[in-house]
Structure 1
Amino acid sequence: MGGFSIWHWLIVGIVVILLFGKGRISDVMGDLAKGIKSFKKGLAEDETPAQPRQLGQASPDQTIRSETPQETPRS
């Protein structure tokens, strides 16, 4: 019950190639590379410093409570 030998990995590789085909595997690897590149690009865009806010300006995540209708409790 040891590790797999080279023959086990060779048989697994042949089965994978037979199931998916040579072109399909290269397409999947190309799509994976594109995904990694876009992920890295997204991380680089997120690292840009935020603009400093001036005093008295509300941030976009703050909401004004007076615009929402208030419900009155029923008795």
Structure 2
Amino acid sequence: MGEISITKLLVVAALVVLLFGTKKLRTLGGDLGAAIKGFKKAMNDDDTSAKNASDAAAAPGERLSHKE
């Protein structure tokens, strides 16, 4: 089968552009970018909520004080 050369990649890219058109590919790229951005935001929100939950679980223990 051989290696994938730059000329083969250019031919495949040209065929994809001819099949789908530049407008559809631009829309697809924008949708893909928005999906990745949403995924990153969800991951950051999940990490933040997990951190807040662990802080909230540890907070009652820290509030208790021992009076002598």
TM-score by length of 2: 0.65
* Secondary structure in 1 matching 2:57: coil
**For the residues of structure 1 that align with 2:38 and 2:10, how far apart are their CA atoms?**
33
Alignment length (residue pairs): 54
Q: Which has the larger radius of gyration?
A: 1
- Which 5+ residue runs of structure 1 have no aligned equivalent? 55-75
Matches within 5 A, 1:25-40: 25-40=25-40
Provide Cα deviations, 1:10-69, integer angstroms capped at 9, x if missing partner. 221111001010111111111111011111111111113213286xxxxxxxxxxxxxxx
Matches within 5 A, 1:1-75: 1-47=1-47, 48=49, 49-50=52-53, 51-52=56-57
**For the residues of structure 2 that align with 1:26 and 1:32, how far apart are their CA atoms?**
10
Aligned-pair identity in percent equals 39
CA RMSD of aligned residues (A): 1.9
* Secondary structure in 2 matching 1:4: coil
- Which 5+ residue runs of structure 2 have no aligned equivalent? 61-68
Instruction: Provide runs of 4+ in structure 1 moved above 4 Å.
Output: none
| More helix, by proportion | 2
